[in-house]
Structure 1
Amino acid sequence: MIEVNGLTRTYGAHRAVDDVTFRAEPGRVTGFLGPNGAGKSTCMRMMVGLTPPTAGTATILERQYTALPNPGRHVGVLLDASAQHPGRTGREVLTLGARTMGLPKGRVDELLEVVGLTPVEAKRQVRNYSLGMRQRLGIAHALLGDPKVLILDEPANGLDPAGIRWMRSLLRGFADEGGTVLLSSHLLHEIEVIADDLVVIGRGRIVAQGAKQELLATAGTSVTSTDNQRLGEALAGQGVSVTAVGQKLRVDAEPIVVGKVALQHQIVLTELTSAGAAGLEDMFLQLTAGDAREGVAA
């Protein structure tokens, strides 16, 4: 479990992280979303003792990260795949980690196989790795100590579609076995697919959090019909909020409500779905609109 309470970090007059509180539970993947500069990475650095908080606390497995004995055996961390020593081989990076944690040599071979780095690639210097290979190596290092908690910042960067699917399966399996996963990503679709819970941060503050399904339910319904104008007026007459989005209507109500109104007014529906992933993206952009930079989340 990860528990963050009132976490705050200031730099002079600038408050980079402002009273952030949330929990990441065992057996669940928690998606951590926020635009560039929102304070997400600063939060993660404070969780693992790399940046001291101005106020508040962050505990992992009920202890501060720096107080954990041999922390790599309890918490796997990947904050920057490019931070690995460029002059060492992938195998050397993992071997040094294994020695530091007191692990057997065989653990290195196990993890190289898990993340799909071949023996030839393992002998190659990290400076010659692609970003995707560095991500795989970083994930291998995070898993090296067989931890109970994973804290990963943008682990899908540089991975091809097959690699993203592999990572998704790996993290889902880790959580299903009782592990805790805190995953930050700008790939909203990947978060929507894998996450059980969502924490959205903007301007250093939490702007939304909760179970994914509960948050997506608030995104409403996407609908099109043979007469969108009349359908919109009929829904508005029932006190339902309606927004035109291109050729569709975004309705703040369950699909069954929309269907009943359409039936009452004899309007033929051509599409009726929950907002789903599009709703997650709309919710994210709406909640963080004042903090977005070039419309890219990170």
Structure 2
Amino acid sequence: MITVENLTKRYGDHTAVDDVSFACTPGQVTGFLGPNGAGKSTTMRIIAGLTPATSGSATVGGRAYREIPNPATQVGVLLDASAQHAGRTGAEILRLTAMTLGVNRSRVDDMLEMVSLTPEEANRRVRNYSLGMRQRLGIANALLGDPHILILDEPANGLDPAGIHWMRTLLRDYANRGGTVLLSSHLLHEIEIIADDILVIGHGRIVAQGTKSDLLAAQGTRVRSLDDAALAAALAGAGIRTLPATDGGFTTEAAPEEVGRVAATAGIALMELRPGDGAQLEEMFLELTQQTQREQPVLQGVPS
């Protein structure tokens, strides 16, 4: 189990992580989402004992990472797949880790087979690896000590669709066997498929957390019209906040009858008006982090 309580990290006047609290439980994959610079990687580095917190605590299995004897046998960590010795082969890196951890050398071959690195690839120097191959090697290294907790920062980066499917299957099986997984990713669709619980962070603060089913449950109204720009302006004039939907129109927390009344008053013909039937993760993510993103959506024809 991973437990984070009132965690804060400041760099001078900048607060990278601001009073963050959450827990990741055994048997669950927890997806950690947020815009670039939101505080995901800093939080994970603090959990893994690489960055000291300004205040608060982060424990893994009830202990701070630095207090765990031979920690890689308890916690597997992959924070940067590129941070591997470029002059060594993949097999050498795993053998050195096995020696450090005191695990049987036969486990190196098991892990290479599990992550689908061939003998030829395993004996190639890491400088000649693709990013996807480095991700596979990093995952093998994280699992070498047979830990019961995994902390992975963007592990799907560089993987092709088949590799992403492989990773998803691997992590799902790991959690189903009682493992705890904390997984950050910018691939929202992958988080939507694999995660049981979701954390959303923006400007260093948790803006939403809960089970995937709760966070993606039906909400508000789905509306689409013949003139979405005019509809957006009319709804904004009525004090109704909207979020653009990926296929046109909007989602809003207002009731359908309220949205319909505004559209009728403005003389806007509606093509769709219905209760929300479950927000997609992208829509939820954009809505929850709307005030913390660098790129803000621009609606054509809507006064700013």
Do both share a fold (TM > 0.5)? yes
Q: Show the counterpart of 2:265.
A: none
Q: Show the counterpart of 1:177.
A: 177
Q: Show the counterpart of 1:194.
A: 194
- Inter-partner Cα distance in structure 2 for 1:37 and 1:160: 25
Distance 1:20 1:224, change over 3 A: same
- In the alignment, is the contact (CA less than 8 A) between 1:223 and 1:273 conserved in 2? no
Task: Compute the displacement of 1:293 (Å).
Answer: 2.9
Q: Show the counterpart of 1:91.
A: 91
- In the alignment, is the contact (CA less than 8 A) between 1:219 and 1:283 conserved in 2? no
Alignment of 1:144-159 (within 5 A): 144-159=144-159
- In the alignment, is the contact (CA less than 8 A) between 2:219 and 2:275 conserved in 1? no
Residue identity opposite 1:54 in structure 2: T
- The question of 1:68 aligning with 2:71 is answered no
Task: Compute the displacement of 1:221 (Å).
Answer: 5.7
Aligned length: 281
- Inter-partner Cα distance in structure 2 for 1:41 and 1:97: 23
Q: Show the counterpart of 1:250.
A: 251
Distance 1:123 1:243, change over 3 A: closer
Q: Show the counterpart of 2:34.
A: 34
- In the alignment, is the contact (CA less than 8 A) between 1:89 and 1:123 conserved in 2? yes
Which 5+ residue runs of structure 1 have no aligned equivalent? 229-239, 262-266
- Inter-partner Cα distance in structure 1 for 2:128 and 2:85: 11
Residue identity opposite 2:38 in structure 1: A
Q: Show the counterpart of 2:300.
A: none
Report the RMSD for the aligned CA atoms in angstroms.
3.1
Partner SS for 2:82: helix
Which 5+ residue runs of structure 2 have no aligned equivalent? 229-239, 261-269, 298-304
Q: Show the counterpart of 1:274.
A: 277
- Runs of 4+ with >6 A deviation: 223-226, 240-244, 267-273
TM-score between both structures, scaled by the size of structure 1: 0.84
Residue identity opposite 1:87 in structure 2: G
Q: What does the per-residue CA deviation read over 1:47-89, in whole Å, with 9 as the maximum and x for residues that have no partner? A: 0110000001000001111111110100000000000000000
- Inter-partner Cα distance in structure 1 for 2:219 and 2:275: 14
Q: Show the counterpart of 1:292.
A: 293
- Inter-partner Cα distance in structure 2 for 1:192 and 1:39: 20
Distance 1:270 1:241, change over 3 A: closer
- In the alignment, is the contact (CA less than 8 A) between 2:222 and 2:272 conserved in 1? no
- Inter-partner Cα distance in structure 2 for 1:243 and 1:80: 34
Partner SS for 1:10: strand
Q: What does the per-residue CA deviation read over 1:134-172, in whole Å, with 9 as the maximum and x for residues that have no partner? A: 000000001101110000000000000000000000000
- Inter-partner Cα distance in structure 2 for 1:220 and 1:195: 24
Q: Show the counterpart of 1:232.
A: none
Distance 1:183 1:220, change over 3 A: farther
Distance 1:117 1:253, change over 3 A: farther
Task: Compute the displacement of 1:14 (Å).
Answer: 1.0
TM-score between both structures, scaled by the size of structure 2: 0.83
Distance 1:205 1:243, change over 3 A: closer
- Name the % identity: 62
Alignment of 1:70-219 (within 5 A): 70-217=70-217, 219=219
- Inter-partner Cα distance in structure 1 for 2:254 and 2:156: 34
Residue identity opposite 2:282 in structure 1: E
Q: Show the counterpart of 1:264.
A: none
Partner SS for 2:291: helix
